[in-house]
Amino acid sequence: MERVHFENEQAFRDQVERLFRQQSQRIRAVLPEADIQHVGSTAVPDSLTKGDLDIQVRVPAAFFLQAVERLGALFRANEGSSRTETFAAFQDDTTDPPLGVQLSVIGSPEDFFWKVRDVLRANPDRRRAYDALKQQYEGEPMEVYRAAKAGFIEALMATEEFQRLD
């Protein structure tokens, strides 16, 4: 059973930034029309993180199926994640740090990762609340943490700060 552990993002910053640049170039080579965003906790200064890199790839609806195919040639599908007509997830656990890629159609219900990042960056109280949740689940089973995280993100998405972002 996988257990979750957190450290300050500063411990991973150089590795994450290097990997983001490298993977962004790979993605841009096959999806020049994509908006590529560094998301997740490593994109939020001074936050606690598992130490992985999350990238959101945002594309217009007309490019979604092509993007699924092209990203599928670069990365393995994340079988633990849902797949919809506007969202697909990929991963590469062989990179250092491990990599998750979230593909979403711009404006779709799943196009929220960048907004969560921006709300946490702009609001230190919300970032501290998220870090407190992580501290509460330190060493716990990953599935238990993910359920709590989903509740936090859902509540964050209901905030005025989140709703204002386009």
- Quick one: which of 40, 56, 50, 51 has its CA closest to 13? 51
pLDDT at 87: 98
pLDDT at 23: 98
Domain spanning 7-164: CATH superfamily? Beta Polymerase, domain 2 (3.30.460.10)
Specify the pTM. Answer: 0.96
pLDDT at 32: 97
The domain segmentation of the chain, as residue ranges, is: 7-164
pLDDT at 166: 79
pLDDT at 69: 98
Residues 59, 71 contacting (CB under 8 angstroms) = no
pLDDT at 103: 98
**Average pLDDT by consecutive 10-residue portion of the chain (166 residues)?**
95 97 98 97 97 98 98 95 96 97 98 98 98 98 96 97 92
pLDDT at 1: 82
Q: For the CA atoms of 151, 135, 45, 129, what is the dihedral angle to 10 degrees?
A: 50
